[in-house]
Structure 1
Amino acid sequence: MPYVRSSAISRIEWTNGTLSIWFNETGRYDYHGVPERLFHEFLAAGSKGSFYNSYIRDRY
């Protein structure tokens, strides 16, 4: 369960194609069909919120 430094996101987890994101304000959301590669890129991103908005939101 990687905890991350972000003003919007507290934790990111990937299991068998499901990306779970814990948002500070609204809690956990699950995104299905997310490639593991994208999870690792998300973890490495300088801005988790910007990465989420560009590559995950409204796509999964």
Structure 2
Amino acid sequence: MVTAGIEDADYKDTDLLRKFLSDRGKIRIRRLGRLTVRRQRAMARAIRNAREMALPPHATR
């Protein structure tokens, strides 16, 4: 992914995924992430895959 300075949406890159999660653990909307529709879908898919593997915490304090 080149949009918003992102190379690729990889589910193992938790630091990148955390930028697109709210403090409650929800996926941020496309407008706030400055992503295209295609990139937002890929990011959401990567976040869901990472959640399935229990990589990121669901909520932070």
TM-score by length of 2: 0.31
> Considering only CA atoms, is the larger Rg found in Structure 1 or Structure 2?
2
Q: Which has the higher contact order (CA 8 A, sep 6+)?
A: 2
More strand, by proportion: 1
More helix, by proportion: 2
